[in-house]
Structure 1
Amino acid sequence: MRTTKTGSIFIISAASGTGKTTLVSRVIANHPEIRVSISHTTRAPRGGEIAGQHYHFIDPNKFEQLIDEGAFLEYAMVYGNYYGTSIEGVKMLQENGFDVILEIDVQGAEQVRRCLPEAVSIFILPPSFQILAERLRSRGTDEPEIIEKRLNKARSEIEQSLLFDYVVINDDLVQAEMDLVHIIKSHSLTQSKQQRFIENLLENS
C-alpha cells in the first residue's frame, strides 16, 4: 500500500515574456497533484489578477516585517517592487503531498538552490530573442521604458539557464507543457523519492 508522499520542489524561471506564467497555469489546471506557491508582492494587481489566487498583495511595510521575521524562502526587489516566497506556504503544500512549483526569477532561484539543494530547477527559454521581444511588446501591460529594461535584462537572465537542471523551450505551448510535466513526473520515480515505498515493501515481504 502506498504511503502519502512529501511533495518535491520545482524552481521554474525564465526571462520576462517567455510565457512562464501561462505555461505554469496550464500545468496546474491540468494536473491537480501539482500546485504553485503563491508569492507575496508589493506591486499593485494587474487587470484580472485576484488576491490570494495570483499573488498575496501586501504593502512594503508588511513585507519588510515578514523579512525581519524570516518568513520567506527567498525574496527580491524587482523593478521597484518586492516579491517573496513564503516558507510556511511551501511547507504546507509539501506536507499535503503536492509537488510545488516556485515560479520565481533567477535571483530568487539562486537563493532557493543555495538553501534547498534538493530542489529541481527548470528554465523556460523562448524560441528566439526576436520572438521574446515581440511577446513583451504585445502584452500591453508595461510602459515602453520598462519593456526596454526587461529586454536589456533578458540576455543576462537567459545566460543563467546554464545553472539549471533542465531547460524547456517554449515554442509550442502544448509541447512545452508536456515537457514540463514529464520532468516533474519522472522526478517522483527516482530511487530517493521511492525510498519509503521500498522500505514498506521490504517490511511487509
Structure 2
Amino acid sequence: MSSKKTVADEAAPLASPRLIVLAGPTAVGKGTVAACVREHHPEIWISVSVTTRKPRPGEIDGYHYHFINDAEFDALIANGGLLEWAVVHKAARYGTPRAPVDRALASGKPALLEIDLQGARQVRERMPEAFLVFLAPPSFVELVRRLVGRGTEGSAERERRLETARKEMLAESEFDATIVNTDVRTACEELVDLFSSGSSRSNS
C-alpha cells in the first residue's frame, strides 16, 4: 500500500533553494492560495504563467498571468522557452516560462509554481528535485459549489471543467504531499511551511 505524505508528517529539512509545484483540480483555489502566499510571504518567488485565454474580470496582465496570443505561445515552444505547457479544458494553452524560474533558483530564492496537473508532470520529468503538492478540496461537492459560485464560466464550460476535475482528483497519489484547502490562509501557511521542512518522498 502506498504511503501518501501530508503536511502533518515530520521530516528533516530539505536543501534550499526549493522548487514547489502546486497543482490540483479546477476551482480548488490554487490561484487564491498562491495569491495569499504572494501577499504574506514576499520572500517566496512565484512564477507568472503565460496563457492564450482571455483575462477574467479583475485579472491583471503580468500579475495573474501573461496574456499572449497563439503565435507568441508557438514562438515560446519553438525556442524552448517553456518549462512546461498544456492545453487545459480542451481550450486555452498555459505554460511556465523557464528563464525566470532558473533565475529565481540560481539566486537562492524559494520558488513556487501554481500550475495544472499536466504541467506538474512535465516539471517532475524536467526538474526531478521539484516537490509536488496536491491542493485538494474538502469534498467533490464543495468543489462543484466553488466552481458554480465563482460564476466565471457558462454551463457548458462548467461541465467540461468538472469532467476534467474528476480525472484530476485521481492523480493525488502522484504528489509528494497533499494540502486540503478548507481555509485559504491555513492552506497558504501549510504550503509555506513545506519550503523549510517538507516531507521526503515515499515510494513504499
Structure 2 residue corresponding to 1:66, chosen from 76, 97, 111: 76
How does 1:68-83 map onto structure 2 within 5 Å?
68-79=78-89, 80-83=91-94
Specify the alignment match of 1:153 in structure 2: 164
For residue 51 of structure 1, what is the aligned residue in structure 2? Answer: 61
Q: TM-score, normalised by structure 1?
A: 0.86
Say if 2:22 and 2:133, in contact at 8 Å, map to a contact too: yes
In the aligned structure 2, how far is the partner of 1:70 from the partner of 1:174?
36
CA distance in 1, matches of 2:63, 2:162: 28
CA shift, 1:104, in A, is 0.7
What secondary structure sits across from 1:132 in the alignment? helix
More helix by share: 1
Report the secondary structure of 1:15's partner residue.
coil
Displaced runs of 4 or more, over 3 A: none
Cα deviation digits, residues 163-197 of structure 1 (max 9, x gap) = 0000000112232122111112214xx9xxxxxxx
Pairing partner for 1:39 from 49, 69, 85 = 49
Distance 2:184 2:16 in 1: 29
Counting aligned pairs with the same residue, the percent is: 41
Looking at structure 2, the residues matched to 147 and 171 of structure 1 have their Cα atoms a distance apart, in angstroms, of 21
Name the larger-Rg structure. Answer: 1
SS at match of 2:170: helix
Distance in 2 (CA, whole Å) between partners of 1:53 and 1:71 is 19
| 1:16-66 deviation digits (Å, cap 9, x = unpaired) | 111111111111211111121011111111111111111111110111011
* Match of residue 14 from structure 1: 24
Gaps of 5+ in 1: 191-205
Q: How many residues are aligned here?
A: 185
For structure 2, the residue ranges without an aligned partner over 5 or more in a row are: 1-14
**Aligned-partner Cα distance in 1 for 2:48–2:25:** 19
Find the counterpart in structure 1 of residue 144 from structure 2. 133
DSSP-derived class of the 1:66 partner: helix
- What one-letter code is carried by the residue in structure 1 that aligns with 2:178? V
